[in-house]
Structure 1
């Protein structure tokens, strides 16, 4: 009986089913759209999900947005005031403690404290001081110094654990990082002192130079920028730099390396270098 009825009313059943599915789809779509308001001033509305895309507007604090889609931390939004659409960095638009967004605010930055865990890195002459200890301390201080900018900061490690070398570049690749900075302290079989900055791919050269310029006021001699085929630089398509912040097996350099004041100075200068780099390389309305 049911089968006979279905066959005789097949067209009606199909139409009813299509209407029900369409209605459910619309309801789900409406529910999934979230309203939000920009918290800081100067939030950039871009044509795509990344700071490299063209900016079409600077949004004031309190601008109402409808979230249409999400991609890699960026929101595809529609403005409620003029119905125009675009993309905003979610961590910028939603930043509670940021009053005015800058070019640095939109950046995704990976901080990579070299070595860790069973991989101690280089050692001091007496074997007492380990590179892994000071790379982590320095990276944490850089993160703290960057926090007021509103930038999205990612760490390859935040404790004394080892991260497989081949996995380090994957963090920047996954989040489409605008800058990846690896922190290290050098060692040499001959007497050597000073700091150095390295890159591998062409897209890391300007970043390396900006950081090098900002580090010229360090108490140790700046040996300058050079290229090197380190895996953390070579195996990524994102702009990447490795900073050697002194020779840990040189007692003169070690005196500085161990000081929190020296690590804080590195952090301050790195922020200054990043600010210069992103200001020069980011279109803002």
Structure 2
């Protein structure tokens, strides 16, 4: 059992900031660009993991650059990662849709998806709980390691967008995600 200060010692976690470079992802009403938000959020999660868990953390991109989907998956495969976390912010054609969703690809990844999602919902971000769902995203489908895709709010919804621009949210969401990962690996 790892010492309490290093609960994920020996684990490798890949964080994948969605979009980047010529692919901006979604753009919010307040001008928030998804590719920037995902990078900022991913760096916050990386810091939280490194400070609290002793895990090895890799990012699929460290800056605003285009990385194709297969390259993102390859990072996890080559590192023999224990977990791949893809960070996104959703968008919808109407601006009234809000909430957070945690996607996984198959039933064996459901428990870790649930562990992370439960911790996010515990934070009471005043947003809709859109649940844990199976998602047919490339980075989930093609991954050989356990993989989650987190949609941490709707950039197309003003309330969600305002929240995701706050540093407090980045800090709290990172904390929740790391708590969920620790919960899962502690039990398995």
With structure 2 as the length reference, what TM-score do the two structures score? Answer: 0.93
More strand by share: 1
Q: Which residue of the partner structure matches residue 249 of structure 1?
A: 156
Could you list the per-position Cα deviations for residues 101-132 of structure 1 after superposition, in whole angstroms to 9, with x for gaps in the alignment? 64422211000000011110001136x22100
Cα offset, 1:224, TM superposition: 0.9
Larger relative contact order, structure 1 or 2 (CA cutoff 8 Å, min sep 6): 2
Could you list the per-position Cα deviations for residues 132-162 of structure 1 after superposition, in whole angstroms to 9, with x for gaps in the alignment? 0110000000011111211010100010111
Stretches of structure 2 lacking an aligned partner (at least 5 in a row): none
Q: Which residue of the partner structure matches residue 8 of structure 2?
A: 104
8 Å Cα contact 1:112-1:181 kept in structure 2? yes
Q: What secondary structure sits across from 2:9 in the alignment? A: helix
Q: What secondary structure sits across from 1:124 in the alignment? A: coil
> Within the alignment, does 1:272 sit opposite 2:166 as a pair?
no
Cα offset, 1:249, TM superposition: 1.1
Alignment length, in residue pairs? 184
Stretches of structure 1 lacking an aligned partner (at least 5 in a row): 1-41, 44-98
8 Å Cα contact 2:7-2:54 kept in structure 1? no
- 4+ runs deviating over 3 angstroms: 99-103
- Of structures 1 and 2, the larger Rg is shown by 1
The separation in 2 between residues aligned to 1:124 and 1:234, in whole angstroms, is 28
Q: What secondary structure sits across from 1:119 in the alignment? A: coil
CA RMSD of the aligned region, Å?
A: 1.5
1:197 corresponds to which of 102, 105, 110: 102
Q: Which residue of the partner structure matches residue 239 of structure 1?
A: 146
With structure 1 as the length reference, what TM-score do the two structures score? Answer: 0.62
2:35 corresponds to which of 112, 132, 140: 132
The separation in 1 between residues aligned to 2:108 and 2:59, in whole angstroms, is 21
Q: Which residue of the partner structure matches residue 47 of structure 2?
A: 144
Could you list the per-position Cα deviations for residues 187-216 of structure 1 after superposition, in whole angstroms to 9, with x for gaps in the alignment? 001320011100113332111111011111
8 Å Cα contact 1:215-1:222 kept in structure 2? no
* Higher mean C-alpha deviation, range 165-174 or range 109-118: 165-174
The separation in 2 between residues aligned to 1:236 and 1:201, in whole angstroms, is 11
